[in-house]
Amino acid sequence: MKTRGPSVAAYEKLLQAATLFSPRNKGFLDDRIAATRELFFFADEFAGSGTFSLSPSPKLETVWMSTVDSAPGKAAANFLETEVFVASGATCRAWIYAGGCCQEVFTFCLQGTGLSGPSAKNPKETVTTQPGGEDWIAVKSSATGLKKKHADHTGPKEPDRWMWIELGPLKFAEPGAKKIRILTEQKGFAVAYLAIGSTRQAAPRETEVKDLIKNRPPPVYVPTGTILREIWRGINGDSIAELTGNPKFKDKPDESGLISAIDSWNLGNNYGLRIRGYVHPPETGEYVFWIASDDHGELWLSTDDTPAKKQKLCSLINHVGQREWGKDPAQKSAPVPLVAGKRYYIEVLQKQGGGGEHGAAGWTLPGGVNERPIPPARLSPVGAAAIHKATRPFFRGLVPDAPTVRSTYVGGRGGAEFERSPSPRKFLRGVKYTLSASGCIGGIRPVFQGHSGDIDGANSGITSKETLVGHPGYVVGGMVVRGTDRLNAFKIIFVKVAGNRLVMSDRYESDWVGTRGGGADIRLADDGTPVVGIFGHAGGEIDGFGLMLQGR
């Protein structure tokens, strides 16, 4: 979002420039400019501050909610912010999908870059605001039919009612990139979506929202750089059993907070410690985990991000020095297979009686690099919400002279490297393939969309004989692949193409190709980006594989 405004201004200048580039790529430039006229923001596309917290929601996936009441006049520190591009001469209308329990909780204000409207302090006065400034714009809530004040009804301040609330016509002083802020003093006020545009006349219908949700790429969990540490004090003994068997352990900890690595020390005596959250492996392969503690310690890891599936990997019943990783064989785990792009629940327990005290966990990456302790770039705390990458625009056009980028790579790296992507760019329609005797993919050849029919690309591996291409009017939008030291299996996600654009809501998947076992399901592309080729390594079989995607 930070680059949307400058980018659109650049696109408009390109359209007006007297160059060969502009007419050749007019469709692409028009597409990018049009994408700014009607925007839809999900919660994870806002930045939040103050009392706002991004939280999972059972019905709406993820929402921002204000968790604490603020004193009157202190709403400026509690805001949600995003950025939009306002075209010259355009007046935007906007709506938020907000939650609350009464009219009081639904009270909020606006700020924006050069945004003018009725003052929240004196509605008869018009003010021009700036993000972080002293002036706010009043928003007339449509939350009628609810109690006026929270004191008029029972229950906690929480978003148990949801509705679209119009922000009113947004009048900016001049065109360009603009920040918009939503501010509140009320605990329980929540926001799930924002719809804004220069042509939209009403809030999104339920069917429209469902279609937008359907077209979102799968959730992605990214490291946040922190993990949760909890401390229970006043528990004697040095064994983990004396911690987990103590009645205090079932209650809230005496202290809790986020730390930046799985590494803790200098907390005193007679305490128990739990560090928990998620680790994010940077590559697919086998990892070895380590623990170092004084006194006793245990390291647990789940097979996914579910705490209920955790298993103890290694432990210590004899103390070792701080960050001393090789003293006791018991502090090292067996190799554990992990998949890049996924997160795994991790939990470290440490019990301190008296004397020296510390607790840390580390791991060895598949290539042999040690990260001990596990660093911030691999961590996130319990409750960290997902994000969705590349959610807009939903309909990206194919650009013949666009650069290419590579998707995630899956499999081994034996054999010769190959890359098949024609220039000018063409949609990938499917592949031709052959299975090897082991059941993995022995050979593969891309099939591209041509002006008068499909065009075969160059073959990799053994000669490809079987054909898997999309129905007429469909191209490859993504793939799901499984790989270890070979490309074991794949299936193709076919997407409707209209002109030069992908219609992500019209799609189907092929059956699996390949029978060799091994490897997790890894999704390549499938985010609305045109697929324009393949790459990988091949010898007598296809060792590894990925998709070539249109770059920006």
Q: Do the domain assignments include residue 136?
A: yes
Same domain, 354 and 460: no
The whole domain housing 280 covers: 227-381
Same domain, 88 and 125: yes
Higher pLDDT, 396 or 359: 359
* pLDDT surpasses 80 at 220: no
Report how far residue 276's alpha carbon sits from residue 260's, in angstroms, rounded to the nearest whole number: 12
Specify the range with the lowest mean pLDDT, choosing from 54-63, 168-177, 204-213, 313-322.
54-63
Same domain, 155 and 251: no
Structure tokens given for 60: 């709406």
| 303 CB-near residues (< 8 Å, 6+ apart) | 309, 311, 344
Q: Do the domain assignments include residue 192?
A: yes
* pLDDT surpasses 70 at 20: no
Prior bond to 424 cis, omega within 30? Answer: yes
What band does 388 get if pLDDT is binned at 50, 70 and 90?
low
**Are the C-beta atoms of residues 251 and 336 closer than 8 Å to each other?**
no
Q: Do the domain assignments include residue 112?
A: yes
Residue 393 has what pLDDT? 38
CA distances from 431 to 360, 390, 459, 469 (A): 48, 25, 10, 6
**Are the C-beta atoms of residues 484 and 464 closer than 8 Å to each other?**
no
The whole-number average pLDDT for the span 393-408 is 76
The total number of structural domains in the chain stands at 3
The whole-number average pLDDT for the span 410-431 is 95
The whole-number average pLDDT for the span 49-74 is 87
Same domain, 265 and 336: yes
pTM: 0.52
* pLDDT surpasses 80 at 395: no
Percent helix, strand and coil across the chain, each rounded to 5? Answer: 10, 45, 45
Same domain, 50 and 199: yes
Residue 179: DSSP 8-state: E
Prior bond to 393 cis, omega within 30? Answer: yes
The dihedral through the CA atoms of 205, 210, 215, 219 has a sign that is positive
Same domain, 268 and 414: no
* pLDDT surpasses 90 at 273: yes
The dihedral through the CA atoms of 6, 12, 18, 23 has a sign that is positive
Q: Do the domain assignments include residue 167?
A: yes
Same domain, 202 and 287: no
**Which residue blocks in 194-308 are alpha helix, DSSP H?**
206-214, 240-244
Q: Do the domain assignments include residue 18?
A: no
Same domain, 107 and 140: yes
Q: Do the domain assignments include residue 150?
A: yes
* pLDDT surpasses 80 at 295: yes
Same domain, 242 and 202: no
Same domain, 143 and 167: yes
Same domain, 193 and 318: no
What band does 90 get if pLDDT is binned at 50, 70 and 90?
low
Q: Do the domain assignments include residue 19?
A: no
Residue 1 has what pLDDT? 37
- Domain of 252, CATH number, reads 2.60.120.1560
Q: Do the domain assignments include residue 22?
A: no
Same domain, 286 and 334: yes
**Are the C-beta atoms of residues 510 and 530 closer than 8 Å to each other?**
no
Q: Please provide the DSSP assignment of 346-359 as one string.
A: EEEEEEE-SSS-EE
